[in-house]
Structure 1
Amino acid sequence: MDVLLLLVRDERILLTLRAGDIYGSGWWALPSGRIEPNEDVVSAAVRELDEELGLTVAARDVTFAGVTHALPPDSEARLGFGFAVRRWQGEPTIREPDVCAGLCWRSPTDLPDRTLPYTREIVRLHLTGEAFSRPGWPDR
């Protein structure tokens, strides 16, 4: 299970350029990470923003944006919890240069071509107000 985080400032969201020996290297994505054992999703969101970007976020400022149970064609199924964050302390800084090569602010309606589908789906849920999706799974 993952958390995917939409940092929202001036109607734009922050994207990270994945790098190194990880899935999606060379593609843009939301700040994200795995939920640790015995950790709730909001605590995971707060922790990931500190670890990846050096941001301090209060749990009350983490707002649910949607859940996707995605089945990509090139990897195993993923369950992602999306959260929007509009208030934080600090300025986003790359704190894990071995897995992040860049940051950029973009309109959620104008994402770079090389944006991971998992990210695109959480952004779509956020924009449409839908709570849940299951892209890639066959309809039965």
Structure 2
Amino acid sequence: MPEPKRSAVVFAGLIIQNAEGAVLFMRRANTGFADGMWSLPGGRVDHGELLVQAAAREAEEEIGLRVCVQDLHTAHVLNKISADGTPVVGWYFLTNKWTGTPENREPHLCSELEWIQPHAMDPHTEPTDHDAVEAWRSGRVAGWV
């Protein structure tokens, strides 16, 4: 019997950069994936939602920042196959414009927020997000794994 087809997982990530050039990271907790590691804000795209809308929604839900979709610029696109064979598409957006003050709005899933210089990322950064930041820094927009 042929293996059933799996739908792709599509997510939008955010590289939010402040005036000093640091990027906002969240330390994951109680998610079952990469707990204890630093990651970028973001999440899955909902049905009927554009990628930029998902990124803006996740910014407000996770860290309390309001981001206009017009201020989101493509920083990196990722396409890979997960360990279980599911296709994954990640679209990372860059912005340095927002309103509000970063706050942890999901303390049950995130233990802390921190501004980290992209050239000095912690070794315990979630690998996909680490690669996205490195690709953005080097000017490489697309990546396949």
Q: Who is 2:67 aligned against? A: 57
Output the aligned Cα RMSD.
1.5
Q: TM-score, normalised by structure 1?
A: 0.90
Residue of structure 2 aligned with 1:5, choices 10, 14, 37: 14
Considering only CA atoms, is the larger Rg found in Structure 1 or Structure 2?
2
- The percent of aligned pairs where both chains have the same amino acid is 30
Q: Who is 2:32 aligned against? A: 22
**Superposed CA offset, 1:4-51 (max 9, x none):** 100101111011000013311111001110000110000001100010
Residue of structure 2 aligned with 1:116, choices 126, 134, 143: 126
Structure 1 residue runs without a partner (length 5+): 136-140
Structure 2 residue runs without a partner (length 5+): 1-9
**Superposed CA offset, 1:47-91 (max 9, x none):** 000100111111111111010113455885421101001010001
Secondary structure at 1:109 match in 2: helix
Aligned-partner Cα distance in 2 for 1:35–1:74: 20
Q: TM-score, normalised by structure 2?
A: 0.87
Letter in 1 for 2:113: L
Aligned-partner Cα distance in 2 for 1:92–1:55: 6
Number of aligned residues? 135
